[in-house]
Amino acid sequence: MFNKRTKIKQLLQGEQTGHEVTVMGWVRTFRNNQFIALNDGSTNNNLQVVVELGLIDDTILKRITTGASIKVDGIVVASVGKGQTIEVKAKNLEILGDSDAEKYPLQPKKHSLEFLREKAHLRFRTNTFGSVFRIRHSLAFAIHKFFNDKGFVYLHTPIITSSDAEGAGEMFRVTTLPIDGTAQKNEDGSINFKEDFFGKSTNLTVSGQLEGELGAMAFSEIYTFGPTFRAENSNTTRHLAEFWMIEPEMAFFDIEDNMNLAEEFIKYLIQYAMDNNRDDIEFLSQRLAEEEKQLPQDKRSELGLVEKLEFVLNNAFERITYTDAINILLESNHYKKKKFTYDVKWGIDLQSEHERYLVEKHFKKPVIVTGYPAAIKAFYMRMNDDGKTVAAMDILAPGIGEIVGGSQREERLEKLEARMKDMHIPAEEMSWYLDTRRFGTVPHAGFGLGFERMVQFVTGMTNIRDVIAFARTPKNCEF
C-alpha cells in the first residue's frame, strides 16, 4: 500500500520521538540544501524535514523546489530549532511531482488577495486560504450536526425550479431551446416554452424555502443546505451569483421561536469553529490586524477577530422593531450630519450602512430587527395585526450587516391568497403551495442563513469571493 502516511497535524500534536514515520506533502521552502518546510494541508504549521548532507543525490536535491510534492521516510527526533518541538530526520526521500521554480506562481512571499483570486486553483496552498477553507469545512459539518442533534430532517430541495420564491425576478434561466432566435414563438411573440425540456419556463433556484415548507408540514422540522443562484448584477464584496444557503423550516413555530433558534444556531456554529479551528482563527485574527494597520483609525474594527467572536458568544442579541430601528437612525448624529449615503424614513429597505450603524455604533452587538413593512417583504410573510407590517426578522452582525433573514410564514389561506393577489402572484401556478394551508395548516416559521456570509464573519475575510472556492460573479466564471 502506497499511502501509509502520518498527517502533519497529527504528528505535530504529539511529542513522542524515536519512531519511524512516512510523511507526504508539498514543499514550502528548502534552505541550505538541508531543511525542508513541508505542508500537507492538514494545518498551517509546516513540518521541518532535515536532509543530511550527502544523503541524497544532487540531481534529486535540485528537484526539491517550492511547490514540489515529496514523500519522506524518516525518524521523528526532537527539534533544536525555534517554532517546533519535533522534526523528521530523512532516511529516504522521493519526488512525487516536480514544480518548476521559475514558473510556480506562489513563491514564498506575501501575495495580495486580488492576485490569489486569479490563481484560485492554487490559492488553497497558502496559509490564509488553508485556514479559511478548513474553517468553512468545520462550519458545514457543524450545520448538519446542529440540526441532526435536534431531530431535523435534511431535505434536498430542487436546484431547477419553475417558481421564484423571492419574487425578485433575478434568475438564471434553464433551457434547451436554441438561443439564436429560432425557438418557436407564441402568437404574442413570446417564446413557446412548451417545446422546452420541462415544457415550461424554468430557472436555477433562488431559495429552497417554498419546497422546504412542504416538508415541514409533514416532518415538523426540516432544513436545506445547498447552492442558490441570483442573476443580480452586483459587483460588490458582499454578493455572489452562486452561493450556499441554509434554510430551516419549522412547523408549530412563531416568530419568537424562530428568533430563538436562529440565535442559538449562530452561536453554536461560532463555538464549534472556536473549539475545532482555534489555530486557524488565531492566524486569521493576526492577518486581519496586520491588514487593518494600513487603514485610518476610524475604519479599523473595534474588536479583533477572536474578541468579536467571543463577544457574540457571550452576549444576548439585541431585539428591536423596524420602527425602533428607523427612529434610532433618525435621531443619530450620523443622520443629522448627513453621513448616510441612503435616506432614512419609515418604509425604506434598510441598507447595509444602516444595518452596520445599528450593530457597530449604536448597540455594539448583533441585533435582531422585526416587524418590517409588508410592502418591502415577500408574499409569504405573516401579516401582523396592525395590517401594515409583517412578522419578519433579520439578524444583523458586525462587519457585514444582514446575516440571517426569516419570518413567521402566513398560515391563513385567505390572507395568503389576498397577499398573492396584491403582489400579482398567480395563485393557480402556486396551488401546490396553497395546499399546505388547505389541509392541516399550522403556525410555522423559518429563516435563511447565507453560508458564505457566515464564513466571512467567522474568518474575518472582507471579500465574499475569498470564502468560496471558485467565485461566480458578473463577467467572471473561471475554473
Distance CA 41, CA 131 (A): 9
Residue 282 CB partners (closer than 8 Å, separation 6+): 306
Distance CA 217, CA 257 (A): 17
What are the φ/ψ torsions at residue 406 (nearest 5 degrees)?
A: -160, 180
Q: Do domains 8-105 and 125-171+206-466 have the same CATH topology?
A: no
Distance CA 357, CA 399 (A): 10
Angle of helix 451-459 versus helix 127-149 axis, rounded to 10 = 120
Can you list the pairs that 335-339 forms with residues at least 24 positions away whose Cβ atoms lie under 8 Å?
A: none
3-state secondary structure of 136: helix
Tens digit of pLDDT per residue, the chain (479 long)?
A: 888 999 999 999 988 899 999 999 999 999 999 999 999 999 999 999 999 988 899 999 999 999 999 999 999 999 987 778 999 999 999 999 999 989 999 988 889 999 999 999 999 999 999 999 999 999 999 999 999 999 999 999 999 998 766 555 689 999 999 989 889 999 898 899 999 999 999 999 999 999 999 999 999 999 999 999 999 888 888 889 999 999 999 999 999 999 999 999 999 999 999 999 999 999 999 999 998 888 887 777 778 999 999 989 999 999 999 999 999 999 999 999 999 999 999 999 999 999 999 998 999 889 999 999 999 999 999 999 999 999 999 999 888 889 999 999 999 999 999 999 999 988 888 999 999 999 999 999 999 999 999 999 999 999 999 999 999 999 999 98
Residue 461 CB partners (closer than 8 Å, separation 6+): 132, 284, 455, 467
Is 125-171+206-466 CATH 3.40.50.300? Answer: no
CB 67 within 8 A of CB 96: no
- For residue 432, give the H/E element and its range: helix 431-438
Domain boundaries, the chain: 8-105, 125-171+206-466
User: What's the length of the chain?
Assistant: 479
Distance CA 81, CA 86 (A): 9
What is the reported pLDDT for 210? 94
Residue 33 CB partners (closer than 8 Å, separation 6+): 51, 53, 61
3-state secondary structure of 162: coil
Model confidence pTM above 0.75: yes
Residue 477 CB partners (closer than 8 Å, separation 6+): none
What is the reported pLDDT for 276? 97
B/e letters for 328-352, b = 16+ CB within 10 Å, e = fewer, are bbeebebbeeeeeeeebeeeeebee
List C-alpha distances in Å: 279 to 42, 67, 272, 314, 474: 12, 23, 13, 21, 34
Give domain 8-105's CATH number out of 3.40.50.280, 1.10.3110.10, 2.40.50.140, 3.40.640.10.
2.40.50.140
Q: Which three cell numbers stand for residue 41?
A: 494541508
Q: Which three cell numbers stand for residue 154?
A: 435534511
- For residue 75, give the H/E element and its range: strand 69-78
**β-bridge pairing 367-373 and 318-321:** parallel
In 220-360, alpha helices (H): 255-276, 278-292, 305-314, 322-330, 333-336, 352-356
